[in-house]
Structure 1
Amino acid sequence: MPHDHPSDATRCARAPEPPRTISEPLAPPIQLSSVYRIAGLDEVDALFDGRAEGFFYARDGHPNAAQLADKLAKLEGAEAGVVCASGMGAIAATILTLAEQGGRVLLSEGLYGKTTTLVARELARFGVTHGLFDPSRPETLRQALTAAPDARLVVAETLSNPLLRVCDLEGIGAVAREAGVPLMVDHTFAPLLCKPIAMGTTLVVHSLTKLIGGHADVTLGAVVGPRDLIARIHAVASTFGQTGNPFDSWLAMRGAVTLPLRVERTSLTALELARRLDAHPKVERTLYPGLVSHPDHALAKRQFPAGFGAMISFDAGGRDRADRLVRALRAIPLAPSLGDAQTTVSHPCTTSHRGQDPETLQRLGVTPGLIRVSVGLEDVEDLWADFAQALEFA
């Protein structure tokens, strides 16, 4: 006999039936369930074998991550994507998929500190070696590949962190493709400024925490590329527990809505702010691809026709002066991230590149006085007034 009158305890414990509706929500809903109800064992087999579409456990996939991955893949002109718990999660999952004991990973010089640490320090413990090349000079990658027939992956950044060196995507992509080695490009600093996959890149990585999320309330990453390779990366990310959660995926989708407007606005503001910093007598050097003084300016003009992005770096002339400057800023906070709607500054030597070899940092130009600026949506005159008074104080 069916039991039509369950107890209060049973009613509280069981999920309610979904409401009947002939309409669909305009905004994507947040779906926080960590596990999914499946009709029977045949359906479980079908889901695992790829014969049916759906979800069973959130670490392996959920609707919000699937929607976000699809949006990012289409944005970059890729076949598929996977959402990870952070930008480093996406980078680590990709390298773990392609690297192996005795294999070599080739890194562009000046790469983000944690990426370098992952390969040169952590994966070295498991027999993975690495080499270096200059991302603005494709011939240096060709030389590195010739010297390393065991190369499994090439890693570069569209714009390097924090020196904003420009990767010659077409040149580097052609050399990697000729050698049959996948090229992964970290595109975090340059969403919408160019399309790396169309220029020869195999995989594109984003820290969605930054410019795509756009509001300093997300910790998430993603990698997009060929469907078969993304499937392998997705399996590794699930096994290592590196996949992203539903709420942050939903937030990143919301942030992506205004990305084109933010990229356009911050690129214009950053160019003007960089020009003023470059002309200030108390700034030792200013690094911004839109400046004629930048070593990769000609390449940047060709590769980024619509603007040069939101990131600026400048040297205040030593750690003490950098410290006085950030303390003197009245409205611009020191915050070790980037991409927020409000302008922030960071100090690479004590944050993103902390613990790196001091001699290497000096050689690359990551000096104790270097300050990185993430330009937000404020009026440029308000930003300059704050920087100008802080420079005088410093």
Structure 2
Amino acid sequence: MRSQFGEVSEALFLTQGYAYDSMEAAEARFNGGDPGFVYSRFSNPTVAMFEARMALLEGCEAARATATGMAAVTAAMMGQVQAGDHVVAAKALFGSCRYVVEELLPRFGVASTLVDGEDLDQWRAAMRPETKVVFLESPTNPTLSLVDIAAVAEIAHAGGALLTVDNVFATPMLQSPFELGADCVVYSTTKHIDGQGRCLGGVILGSQDFIDTKMQTFLRQTGPALSPFNAWVMLKGLETLPLRVAAQDASASRIADFLADHKQISRVIYPGRDDHPQAELARRQMKGGGTLVAFDVVGGKPAAFRFANALKVILISNNLGDAKSLITHPATTTHQRLSAEVRAGLGINDAMLRLSVGLEDVHDLLEDIGRALDHAD
């Protein structure tokens, strides 16, 4: 969508409100007779461009952008349920997502059950007549385990529920949840979609009916709106997303292989390797191994900290999907809110590090990792 000036780069509309030619025009805009813009909390031309581009990329009918990824997750969940409903979700979720499922929804009378996402029998057993939403992420954060999206979609639909998939780790480039049966897909666009450490954002995608009936009123009335400037930045990010993810995926594969052969590493988890416990599933539902690698350092937390502190090119940060390579210690950062027992059940131990591979030359990254591992010994 271009303005009357015919600009090549998308226009940035930094405006809160919109003027009308007449009171009659304002009335028509508010009652739906005129589909134009009313207020940027509801919609905005730049944000609408980003939403349309995301829907095309994901292969669905509609999208609504939000201020953050967690705003997208929260709205996607709360927009689908009411008191008395039930949600089934995988245990392996980002810590804030678990908070929404385990603690926030029950405050409003929505019960939840957490299951081992890899165990289809647990999904089946957890379904109830009142189950309305099934929620998962795949690959999971940070252990990179996979959930069979097509199989879980079949279980959800057989029970009259809708499936929501957090597709952040796979990105739209490497996994297409709608093709596997998902009804809703959510992203933290802060990650690969911006992908350059600049802006926060999120997006909810689905059919036009899903967005209109489940999301539109909730988003309009609660206001987790994406700023037009951030939407403009995300639009710029989408232009290079395929190139960035392809390069990061290739580097991550090289790094995973290097780590697997190193004496200071006791375990490597990467969906693109044949030794991943679900390698067959990864090949079936993903187009690549992804941009993240998880691994355990021999010597536990002290050695993992020594290694990370010795890195020069790779930065210590809890973010991911960035053009810069980033490393974090999940047990003390992203998943520290979970009890030690829960973390152990998810396979998150004190030796584990999560590496988000960036766009630096892979040889520089391998040299940085190798040198830092000498300090971990």
TM-score, length-normalised on structure 1? Answer: 0.91
For 1:100 and 1:321, the matched residues in 2 are separated by 47
Match of 1:243 in 2: 225
Partner of residue 174 from structure 2, selected from 193, 213, 216: 193
Match of 2:358 in 1: 376
- Consecutive unaligned residues of structure 2, counting only runs of 5 or more, are none
SS at match of 1:140: helix
Partner of residue 62 from structure 2, selected from 72, 77, 80: 80
Match of 2:193 in 1: 212
1:59 CA drift (Å): 0.7
For 1:22 and 1:290, the matched residues in 2 are separated by 47
Per-residue CA deviations over 1:324-376 (Å, capped at 9, x if unaligned) read 11111112110110111111111111221121121011111111221111101
Whichever residue aligns with residue 174 of structure 2, its letter is: L
SS at match of 1:389: helix
Per-residue CA deviations over 1:243-283 (Å, capped at 9, x if unaligned) read 11100000001001111111111111101100111111111
Partner of residue 339 from structure 2, selected from 345, 349, 357: 357
For 1:183 and 1:155, the matched residues in 2 are separated by 6
1:307 and 2:288 correspond: yes
- Percent identity, please: 34
Residue pair 1:83, 1:220 contacting (<8 A) in 2 also: yes
Residue pair 2:131, 2:160 contacting (<8 A) in 1 also: no
SS at match of 2:118: coil
Residue pair 1:136, 1:296 contacting (<8 A) in 2 also: no
1:22 CA drift (Å): 5.8
1:65 CA drift (Å): 1.1
For 2:159 and 2:373, the matched residues in 1 are separated by 48
Match of 1:11 in 2: none
Match of 1:17 in 2: none
Residue pair 2:132, 2:160 contacting (<8 A) in 1 also: no
Larger gyration radius, structure 1 or structure 2: 1
After the TM superposition, which residues 20-99 of structure 1 pair with which residues of structure 2 at under 5 Å, given as runs? 23-99=5-81
Partner of residue 130 from structure 2, selected from 120, 142, 150: 150
Match of 2:142 in 1: 162
Report the CA distance shift for 1:230/1:393 in structure 2 as closer, same or farther (over 3 A). Answer: same
Residue pair 2:260, 2:268 contacting (<8 A) in 1 also: yes
Residue pair 2:92, 2:117 contacting (<8 A) in 1 also: no
SS at match of 1:258: helix
Per-residue CA deviations over 1:131-175 (Å, capped at 9, x if unaligned) read 123333433212211xx2211211111211111111211111111
SS at match of 1:307: coil
Whichever residue aligns with residue 120 of structure 2, its letter is: P
Match of 1:7 in 2: none
Match of 1:254 in 2: 236
- Consecutive unaligned residues of structure 1, counting only runs of 5 or more, are 1-20
For 1:194 and 1:125, the matched residues in 2 are separated by 33
For 2:29 and 2:335, the matched residues in 1 are separated by 43
Residue pair 1:138, 1:172 contacting (<8 A) in 2 also: yes
Per-residue CA deviations over 1:213-257 (Å, capped at 9, x if unaligned) read 110101000010011221231321232221111000000010011
For 1:164 and 1:49, the matched residues in 2 are separated by 47
Residue pair 1:137, 1:168 contacting (<8 A) in 2 also: no
Tell me how many residue pairs correspond in the alignment. Answer: 371
What is the RMSD of the two structures over their aligned residues, measured on CA atoms?
1.4
Whichever residue aligns with residue 30 of structure 2, its letter is: F
For 1:133 and 1:201, the matched residues in 2 are separated by 18
